[in-house]
Amino acid sequence: MSADPVHAISALTEQLTRLPGIRTASELFAGHPPYAVDAPLRPLFQRGGLPRGEILAITGEHSFSLALAACAAATREQLWCAVLGMGEPAVAGIADFGIDLSHFVNLRTPLQDWLRVTSILVESFDILIVRPGFAPTPGDRQRLLAKVRERRMTLITLDEFPGTGERLGVRDVRWEGTARGAGRLEQCTVTVHGSRTGTHTLLLPAPSGRAEHPAPMPGAEHSVPAVGVAHPGGPVPRIHSVD
């Protein structure tokens, strides 16, 4: 006669509960809702928001802007966001992304101490944007990941970071608004490749300063190959997956 099935399940539950970062067994299945992001950025993430308990890598030329735009909605919900290793960001630009400045902190610590500072900040902040000063050893990486998972916060690195969950790469950056010798830069179209969600195109920043869906352009199919977008064959990609 085997053990009582109810008893076996409760033993399993207890065992799971003892794992670091898992407080109740149901948490394992239900998970935590991701942190909210602005509507145009939702398709970029697998669960429609910033994944919690994971390291998210954003790479490419426009990565800092994308990271700021992604955490804007969360700071407006009174969550705290810290930036590490970015020197002196421009406050006006940060405010344009919709970030609540009273929940935003910039850290100017020596680059070689980034891992130490990050491990302190992980304890209390909800979102961290970090430019690593050096590549950590695999052991450090595992410890950091375990801490992030336990705290259920989001760590965004602006560099390649092995072992990350989602990865977003900003591939193509195209500024618009200048004609030949006239006008000024008004918006920027970027192509973002998500490791789990495919390729998306969005305006970052749009004329308002925030991230937005690109406007449908009549005759865009013809202009696309001419300026050499990453997708020479198809029409202009407007938030659709090409997986």
Partner 1 sequence: MSVHRTVVLAVPDWPAVAAGIAHGLSTAAPAAVLRAGRIISCNAPARASGVETGLNKRAAQLRCPELTVIPWDPEVDHRVFAAGIGVLEDLVARFTLLSPGVVSIPALSLRRTHASEESAVEELLTGLTDSTGWEFFPGIADTAFAALLASRTATRVPPGRTAAFLAPLPISSLTAVDAHAYAELVPLLGRLGLTALGRFAQLAEADVHARFGTLGRRAHRLARGLPDRIPADHVRAREFRVHSPLDPPSGRSDVLSFHARTLGAELLGTVRAAGLVCTQVDIELTATTGETCRRTWRLEDMDESMIADRLRWQAEGWLAAGGAGTGADSRGGPRTRGARPDRTARTARPDRTARAVPENGEDPGPDPTLVSGEDGICAIGLAAAELLSPLGTQQSLFDQHPGRIAHTLERLQGLFGPDAVLVPGLQGGRDPAETNLWTPWQQRPRPERDPEAPGRARCRLPAPRSSSTPRWICSTSAAPRSSPAPPDSTTSRRCSGSPARGRCAWSTTPRPGRWRPAGGTGARPSTGCASRSSPRTGPPTC
Instruction: Report whether 188 contacts 205 (CB < 8 A).
Output: yes
User: How far apart (Å, rounded) are the C-alpha atoms in residues 23 and 16?
Assistant: 8
Among positions 196, 209, 236, 239, the unique one binding partner 1 when judged by CB under 8 A? 209
User: How far apart (Å, rounded) are the C-alpha atoms in residues 96 and 196?
Assistant: 28
Choose the stretch contacting partner 1; rule: CB under 8 A; options: 44-52, 63-71, 160-168, 231-239.
63-71
Max CA distance (Å), the chain: 86
Among positions 187, 191, 197, 199, the unique one binding partner 1 when judged by CB under 8 A? 187
Question: Is there binding between residue 156 and partner 1 (CB under 8 A)?
Answer: no
User: How far apart (Å, rounded) are the C-alpha atoms in residues 25 and 12?
Assistant: 9
User: How far apart (Å, rounded) are the C-alpha atoms in residues 110 and 158?
Assistant: 17
Among positions 16, 22, 28, 86, the unique one binding partner 1 when judged by CB under 8 A? 86
What tokens does 4 get?
A: 């009582």
Question: Is there binding between residue 33 and partner 1 (CB under 8 A)?
Answer: no
Choose the stretch contacting partner 1; rule: CB under 8 A; options: 39-47, 82-90, 161-169, 194-202.
82-90
Question: Is there binding between residue 73 and partner 1 (CB under 8 A)?
Answer: no
Number of residues binding to partner 1, judged by CB under 8 A:
62
Non-local CB neighbours of 237 within 8 Å, separated by 6+ positions: 191, 199, 200, 201, 231
- Residues in contact with partner 1 by CB under 8 A are 61-62, 64-65, 68, 78-80, 85-97, 101-102, 104-111, 113, 117, 120-121, 123-126, 173-180, 183-188, 205-209, 223, 226-228
